[in-house]
Amino acid sequence: MKKVFGILAGLVVVVGLALFGAKLVTAQLSSAGAALIDSFNPLVQEGTVYAKTTQPSTFEQHHTPIYVQTAVDPSGNTRPIRFMGMKVFKQGRYLKIRNKGAHVFTYEAVEKTAVPSAALAKLK
């Protein structure tokens, strides 16, 4: 019985360390792999970040724009984020992005007044 408990405790520790390590590694990544890992990692919290629109970084099939930008949370912390746009955005507009780490759920255009002041200061 002690051996089974020891194995289970060791397994829990290893899985916990792996999840925590994955969270640290993907914190400053914007790749599709980082988005996939963050979407399943229970240690990564859902949140909202803000970005100011720029030109698309690249285009995929059928002229779908891909944006890789610096996003800022309401506290002013930055992170890179990658998402697919439905169209080419006008430059200089503000987006409110609902995310879980590098994984983007939704985005919507917002007015400058809707962006928290700490985020707005970093987006200029």
**Residue pair 120/73 in contact by the 8 Å Cβ criterion:** no
What is the pLDDT at residue 124?
Answer: 77
pTM (two decimals): 0.85
Q: Are strands 58-60 and 64-72 parallel, antiparallel or unpaired?
A: antiparallel
Give the residue among 30, 79, 37, 77 at the shortest CA–CA distance from 58.
30
Residue 32 makes CB contacts below 8 A (sequence gap 6+) with: 82
Q: What domains can be seen in the chain, in order of their start residue? A: 2-123 (2.40.50.480)
CA distance 37 to 79: 16
SS3 87: coil
Give pLDDT, residue 20: 86
Question: Residue 121: pLDDT above 80?
Answer: yes
Say what the pLDDT of residue 24 is: 85
**Interval 52-92: pLDDT, tens:** 999 999 998 888 999 999 999 999 999 999 999 888 999 99
